[in-house]
Amino acid sequence: MDTFKRLKQFYWPFRKYFFWSLFFLVFVTAITVVYPIILQQTIDEVVLKDRYNIIPYIALAFLIVMIVKGFATYLHQYLGDLFGITSVYTMRDALYEKLQVLSFKYYDNAKTGDLMSRLTADVEGFRFFLSVGFAEVVRITLLILFSLSVMFYFSVPLTIVTMAAMPFLAVVVFRFDKRVHPAFRSIRKSFGNLNTRVQENISGMNTVKSLSREGFEIDRFSSSNGTYKQNYIKTSELWAKFFPLMEFIGNVCAVALLAFGGYLVIDGKVTPGELVAFFSLVWYILGPLMNLGFVINLFSQAKASGERLIEILDAKEDIVEKEHAINTPIKGHVTFKDVTLTYTENDDSALKNISFDAHPGKVIGLIGATGSGKTSITQLITRFYEPEKGEVLVDGKPVSDYQLKSLRKHIGFVLQEPFLFSTSIRENISYGNPDMSDEQIIDAAKRAQAHEFIMEMPKGYDTMLGERGMGLSGGQKQRIAIARAICINPSILVLDDATSAVDMETEFKIQKALKEVMVGRTSFIIAHRISSLKHADEILVLEDGKIFERGTHEQLLNNNGPYQRIYDIQYQDREAIMNGVS
């Protein structure tokens, strides 16, 4: 029960629904045991004694019992569902909130499909046990106790003989539980992998089709689907093995009852009505005991689901806000002091002894090969990651001194692959500042050279976008992302290859607009094209996580270093193209 104790905080506040549900369950169970008693009275008092005149009274009593049971059953089931649904509502909120505070380091290793599976299938599996499983355990216990009480009242010897096989049934149920939990754990894991496969395939459908890899993807999905199927088959084999055994033990009890009970009826120690009622009561015990397999099934699924949910709730928060973190306006003075960053333990450092100083209003260019550490620098400013060594300062204070929300709302990001939400263009632009007026949104779009193509769309700024901005070109997405960054009026602006997907003419227009936006702001431009950052106040050339050289565009051209080589390659290619055209 450790899993349920760990998740107690989510369902215990709503225990009143659970206990009221149990209150009505007691009525339902007690009334259920009344049926065999009515049957015994009908046989012994009506049939054997020819007192058919009391049948209407028995029928009326039976009808009243049915009405009361129906009403109690309704309240029991409704309150039980209310308990489960309300509990997992708070649980799902807590899980989603946890996912929002986990650092990039967690998502570097997490799989989207698996996380989706945990927040849907696993949460639902846990809810079903809260709504049904707990109450079923109580129902089985009460039904067995009530039935045994009536059976002992009818005949102690017959009860003892009938119950002789029960310990064997209990052993079988216990062994079933030990085997079925690992099986359900495997099912949940394979279902998460299956979800991941589907999510990745749909997200990368353009790549799949462009490379004609549909067959490969079908085979990969079939493999994951086959693993899921095999895990389910193993669980079905357990059911097929243990359930007939449980049923056999139950039938042995029934045979013992008929044999010994028949002898007692002949001997006059038990009436025929009591024997018939006894037979019904035995199945009120055997049925629930065999139904323990179903309850264990629910319990194992809920336990496996709960363990996967706890893994999220207990995930380490690498980026922790200090207790007295400051919330103050930021001017944008960024300083790196001998900073080293390692993403994965025992792996090469992404940044090695990085030091530089960027004053407010300055533009810092970052250039280098893929994997040289350009993006890592900007992710440390926003505290997406923590440096292994050294210190990152903003306005002379370590970034860890700031409230995360306060720090990040002063930093505008335009990523190389911008993410747009499945909502209107207007809401995408104002996402970081929802209170913006239409005039401010339009002004930001004009600065990002996005207004013109937006107005050509059917509904302008109210045009709804598809998933991840489907329906827009790469350049259009980036311009909307630039407008979104402008809207939050950041003190620090980060452009991570923000113009990589636009043509040269549009890039020129955007850079002209961004020059106005950059005034008074500390700006970091990550680019592979020298044309995007040659106007920077200082350019840092990175290689293998280190600053290999630094300076202005003119200074670096005279160094005869990596920057000079990049410049020659890019501009020689351009001249070759121009000569070819001429």
- Predicted confidence band of residue 397 (pLDDT cuts 50, 70, 90): very high
In terms of average pLDDT, the best of 27-41, 80-94, 183-197 is: 80-94
CB-based contact 532:507 (threshold 8 Å): yes
On the CB side of 413, CA atoms within 13 Å amount to 18
534 within a domain of the structure (yes/no): no
Rounded to an integer, what distance in angstroms lies between the CA atom of residue 558 and that of residue 552? 10
- Whether residue 434 is predicted with pLDDT greater than 90 in this model: the reply is no
CATH number for the domain that contains residue 115: 1.20.1560.10
Supply the pLDDT for residue 274.
81
Please indicate whether residue 238 or residue 502 has the higher confidence score (pLDDT).
238
CB-based contact 328:405 (threshold 8 Å): no
Please indicate, yes or no, whether residues 136 and 282 belong to a single structural domain of this protein. yes
Supply the pLDDT for residue 335.
94
Would you tell me how many other CB atoms lie within 10 Å of the CB of residue 264?
19
For the segment 502-529, the average pLDDT, to the nearest whole number, is: 75
121 within a domain of the structure (yes/no): yes
332 within a domain of the structure (yes/no): no
Which class for 353: exposed (0-12), middle (13-18), buried (19 or more C-beta within 10 A)? middle
Phi-psi region of 368 (alpha: psi -120 to 50; beta: other; left: phi over 0): left
Supply the pLDDT for residue 364.
93
569 within a domain of the structure (yes/no): no
- Whether residue 453 is predicted with pLDDT greater than 60 in this model: the reply is yes
Chain segment 116-173, per-residue pLDDT in tens: 878 888 888 888 888 888 888 888 888 888 888 888 888 888 888 777 777 777 777 7
- Whether residue 539 is predicted with pLDDT greater than 50 in this model: the reply is yes
Listed range (7-16, 61-70, 360-369, 538-547) with the worst mean pLDDT:
61-70
Listed range (129-143, 200-214, 215-229, 337-351) with the worst mean pLDDT:
200-214
Please indicate whether residue 537 or residue 570 has the higher confidence score (pLDDT).
537
293 within a domain of the structure (yes/no): yes
Supply the pLDDT for residue 74.
92
Supply the pLDDT for residue 333.
93
* Strand pairing class (522-526; 363-368): parallel
Per-residue CA distances from 577 to 55, 150, 508, 569, 573 (Å): 105, 98, 19, 12, 6
Q: Is 497 helix (H, G, I), strand (E, B) or coil?
A: coil
For the segment 445-471, the average pLDDT, to the nearest whole number, is: 83
- Predicted confidence band of residue 581 (pLDDT cuts 50, 70, 90): very low
Q: Structural domain of residue 431, as residue ranges?
A: 418-489
Supply the pLDDT for residue 16.
92
Please indicate, yes or no, whether residues 292 and 435 belong to a single structural domain of this protein. no
Please indicate, yes or no, whether residues 306 and 436 belong to a single structural domain of this protein. no
- Whether residue 204 is predicted with pLDDT greater than 70 in this model: the reply is no
372 within a domain of the structure (yes/no): no
Domain end (from 489, 515, 530) = 489
Supply the pLDDT for residue 509.
65
- Predicted confidence band of residue 297 (pLDDT cuts 50, 70, 90): confident
Q: What share of the chain is helix, strand, coil (3-state, %, to 5)?
A: 65, 10, 20
Supply the pLDDT for residue 181.
65
* Strand pairing class (351-358; 522-526): unpaired
CATH number for the domain that contains residue 468: 3.40.50.300
In terms of average pLDDT, the best of 52-56, 501-505, 535-539 is: 535-539
CB-based contact 545:350 (threshold 8 Å): yes
Domain end (from 281, 298, 313) = 313
Average pLDDT along the chain: 82
Chain segment 554-566, per-residue pLDDT in tens: 999 888 888 888 8
Rounded to an integer, what distance in angstroms lies between the CA atom of residue 36 and that of residue 50? 20
321 within a domain of the structure (yes/no): no
Supply the pLDDT for residue 208.
66
Supply the pLDDT for residue 233.
81
Listed range (62-71, 80-89, 241-250) with the worst mean pLDDT:
241-250
517 within a domain of the structure (yes/no): no
Rounded to an integer, what distance in angstroms lies between the CA atom of residue 387 and that of residue 309? 29
Rounded to an integer, what distance in angstroms lies between the CA atom of residue 563 and that of residue 568? 9
Number of domains within the chain? 2
Please indicate, yes or no, whether residues 79 and 226 belong to a single structural domain of this protein. yes
Domain end (from 313, 345, 363) = 313
- Whether residue 346 is predicted with pLDDT greater than 90 in this model: the reply is no
User: Which of 64, 60, 80, 73 lies closest to 20 in space, CA to CA?
Assistant: 80
